[in-house]
């Protein structure tokens, strides 16, 4: 996720002090973390789902624009993220975030993530590992964007997987994994689309090594490569 420019979760890494990072995040997010569960599916009837994916131009690894099948929007999906440290298994929130999960599934099928480096780690105030940019810098998208969803009451406790923004207002291929509860409540600005069900310890091991700069916000000290991201359907 990128918090520069007000709502971008992921840029402005090196040279920040811990106080600057926490102050910047607090200013964007507001204090007062409450540990509650991820937003869950409602039992009420849901309106028909439509997803609009808007071309944005060339990215570092463009793979076309996904289509959307409303009939399969709520079907269960599991994502497996394989790294050198181990595998992280994510249960997709297909009913709550159908457009985001459809996009992620599409990109995984196109091997968009394979071989890419996770470009950001935060170790104070907020505790996330951010990945999904093949350029490895956190400012690009896959050649399309789509609107936010699943933001009502959204929170980001440990295990949350949510969409990052390459630029404010532009959801694409970037995402973050929360490996710890944030120290304050974040504004609901990033679409939660999954929950880690296995392998959170993998992310914690990565985080324990710190950043390359030694600051609480920056690239991981040791490169974290997504060797494969796959989709499993029951």
At residue 97's C-alpha, the angle toward residues 96 and 103, to 5°, is 155
Question: Percentage of the chain with pLDDT > 70?
Answer: 80
Where does the pLDDT of residue 160 fall: very low under 50, low under 70, confident under 90, or very high at 90 and above?
very high
The pLDDT tens digits for 43-91 are: 456 677 889 999 998 778 889 999 998 888 889 999 999 999 999 999 9
**H helices present in the chain, as ranges:** 18-29, 98-109, 200-208
Q: What is the pTM of this model?
A: 0.82
Q: Which of 24-33, 106-115, 157-166, 219-228 has the lowest mean pLDDT?
A: 24-33
The average pLDDT across 180-208 equals 97
> CA angle, 37 as apex, 35 and 40 as ends, to 5°?
155
pLDDT at 62 (0 to 100): 84
Q: Which domains does the chain have, with CATH numbers?
A: 2-35+75-232 (2.40.100.10)
pLDDT for position 35:
29
Q: Per DSSP, what are the bridge partners of residue 177?
A: 129, 161
Sheet holding 170-178, edge to edge: 116-117, 225-232, 78-83, 86-92, 192-198, 160-167, 170-178, 128-131, 120-122, 217-218
């Amino acid at each position: 996720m990128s918090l520069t420019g007000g709502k971008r979760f992921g840029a402005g890494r090196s040279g920040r002090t811990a106080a600057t990072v926490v102050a910047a995040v607090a200013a964007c997010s507001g204090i007062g973390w409450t540990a509650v569960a991820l937003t869950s599916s409602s039992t009420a009837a849901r309106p028909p789902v439509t997803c609009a994916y808007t071309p944005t131009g060339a990215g570092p690894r463009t793979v076309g624009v996904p289509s959307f099948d409303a009939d399969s929007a709520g079907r269960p999906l599991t994502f497996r993220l394989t790294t050198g440290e181990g595998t992280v298994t994510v249960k997709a929130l297909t009913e709550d975030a159908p457009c985001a999960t459809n996009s992620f599934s599409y990109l995984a099928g196109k091997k968009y993530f394979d071989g890419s480096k996770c470009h950001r780690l935060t170790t104070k105030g907020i505790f996330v590992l951010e990945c999904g940019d093949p350029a490895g810098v956190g400012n690009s998208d896959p050649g399309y964007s789509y609107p936010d969803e699943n933001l009502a009451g959204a929170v980001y406790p440990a295990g949350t997987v949510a969409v990052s923004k390459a630029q404010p207002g532009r959801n694409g291929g970037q995402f973050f994994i929360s490996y710890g509860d944030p120290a304050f409540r974040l504004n609901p600005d990033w679409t939660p689309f999954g929950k880690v069900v296995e392998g959170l310890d993998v992310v914690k091991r990565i985080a324990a090594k710190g950043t390359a700069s030694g600051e609480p916000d920056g690239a991981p000290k040791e490169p974290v490569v997504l060797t494969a991201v796959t989709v499993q359907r029951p």
